[in-house]
Amino acid sequence: MTTLSNKTAIVTGASSGIGKAIAKNLADEGANVVLAARRSEKLKELAEEVHSEYGVQTNVIETDVTKREEMENLVQQTVEQFGSIDIFVNNAGVMLLSFLKNDHVDEWEQMVDVNIKGVLFGIHAALPEMLKQETGHIINVSSVAGHEVFPSSTVYSATKYAVRALSMGMEKELSNSGVRVTNVSPGAVDTELTDHITDGEVLDMFKDRKMEPLEAEDIARSVTYAVTQPSYVNVNEVIVRPMHKR
Ligand SMILES: NC(=O)c1ccc[n+]([C@@H]2O[C@H](COP(=O)([O-])OP(=O)(O)OC[C@H]3O[C@@H](n4cnc5c(N)ncnc54)[C@H](OP(=O)(O)O)[C@@H]3O)[C@@H](O)[C@H]2O)c1
């Protein structure tokens, strides 16, 4: 295993849940972390916590991943401050589950914008720099819903299948470039993700569902595992599901 001292990681969607846990875990391994999301107050709190706990350098860059120029700025500022960008975690995402018949078209559009276009803008912003460096690691956070489709996950799954297709193409196109790619597919994790669902039928369906989700930290460890392997090891796909209770 390699250490992440003197490496720099950008994490999108670092203001809560899985992104926050990934940023902390990478900092614990010695990486300087650049925290991106829209809620900058939450990012500032995390930056202070990470700096005092792990002694690494941090930066907070308020970023909406659906804005191409904001993603370009995120990478530019990071390279100016740290000299390189070693890890880019495309984690920001929304899961606005709904049944197609209920026609939540604005939410479909939001999921396409954040989950697909946001990831593409991340690749657009980070990849040229990594190709120039001839080294780097891009993590794309997909989902178990990027491997299977459930009633009400149809559009969300479509966006997460797209993320997985991007990761698969990157793996093939970039295999001689020094840039590694890991597609991470979490199962259910206890975060704010479901708080934004508005379809009453989906909310009713969830009321009766009993399952013990994973913690965000459980996913963060898999990201740290992938980025701390020797440079010739390309961990392309990680699926992490909760065990069912006996
Ligand atoms: N929780 C699960 O069960 C689960 C399972 C599989 C996959 N995932 C995936 O894991 C990733 C993280 O989700 P989570 O579970 O940690 O949910 P979460 O706690 O709701 O976090 C989502 C993050 O995305 C950010 N975000 C949303 N829209 C954004 C935008 N336009 N620009 C920038 N940031 C934006 C949010 O930050 P701001 O609101 O501050 O911008 C927040 O930090 C997502 O891609 C999700 O699809 C989650």
- What tens digit of pLDDT does each residue of 31-52 get? 999 999 999 999 999 999 999 9
What's residue 10's pLDDT? 99
Please give the number of the atom of ligand 1 that sits closest to the Cα of 190.
1
60 in ligand 1 pocket by Cβ < 6 Å? no
Could you tell me which residues come within 8 angstroms of residue 93 by beta carbon, excluding any fewer than 6 positions away? 13, 114, 115, 118, 141, 143, 159, 193
What's the mean pLDDT in 217-246? 94
Give the span between the Cα atoms of 223 and 219, in whole angstroms.
7
193 in ligand 1 pocket by Cβ < 6 Å? yes
Tell me how many degrees the CA angle 11-15-19 measures, rounded to the nearest 5: 40
Render pLDDT for 70-83 as a digit per residue (tens, 0 to 9): 999 999 999 999 99
* For residue 245, pLDDT beyond 70: no
146 in ligand 1 pocket by Cβ < 6 Å? no
191 in ligand 1 pocket by Cβ < 6 Å? yes
Please give the number of the atom of ligand 1 that sits closest to the Cα of 39.
40
Give the span between the Cα atoms of 38 and 24, in whole angstroms.
18
Percent of the chain at pLDDT above 90?
A: 95
Question: What value does the mean pLDDT of the chain take?
Answer: 96
* Local structure of 34: helix, strand or coil: strand
Q: How far does residue 133's CA lie from ligand 1's centre (Å)? A: 29
114 in ligand 1 pocket by Cβ < 6 Å? yes
Render pLDDT for 122-175 as a digit per residue (tens, 0 to 9): 999 999 999 999 999 999 999 999 999 999 999 999 999 999 999 999 999 999
Give the span between the Cα atoms of 191 and 214, in whole angstroms.
9
Number of helices (H), then strands (E), belonging to the chain: the values are 8, 7
Give the span between the Cα atoms of 15 and 65, in whole angstroms.
13
* For residue 1, pLDDT beyond 80: no
Q: How far does residue 193's CA lie from ligand 1's centre (Å)? A: 6
Q: Could you tell me the domains of the chain?
A: 8-236 (3.40.50.720)
156 labelled catalytic = yes
Of 131, 19, 17, nearest to 85 by C-alpha is 131
Q: How far is CA 217 from CA 42, 124, 213, 220, in A?
A: 18, 28, 12, 5
Please give the number of the atom of ligand 1 that sits closest to the Cα of 142.
7
Percent of the chain at pLDDT above 70?
A: 98
What's residue 244's pLDDT? 79
Q: Look at ligand 1, atom 42, and give the residue with the nearest C-alpha.
A: 13
Render pLDDT for 98-113 as a digit per residue (tens, 0 to 9): 999 999 999 999 999 9
* For residue 11, pLDDT beyond 80: yes
* For residue 58, pLDDT beyond 60: yes
What's residue 210's pLDDT? 78
Please give the number of the atom of ligand 1 that sits closest to the Cα of 163.
45
153 in ligand 1 pocket by Cβ < 6 Å? no
The dihedral of CA 171, 176, 177, 178: what is its sign?
positive
Model confidence at 209, in pLDDT bands (50, 70, 90)? confident
Could you tell me which residues come within 8 angstroms of residue 207 by beta carbon, excluding any fewer than 6 positions away? none
The size of the chain, in residues, is 246
Helix residue ranges, H only, the chain: 17-28, 40-54, 68-82, 105-111, 118-133, 154-173, 200-207, 216-227
What's the mean pLDDT in 6-33? 98
Q: Which of 54, 156, 161, 225 is catalytic?
A: 156
| Exposure string for 201-235, b = 16+ CB within 10 A, e = fewer | ebeeeeeeeeeeebebebbbebbbebbbeeeeeeb
27 in ligand 1 pocket by Cβ < 6 Å? no
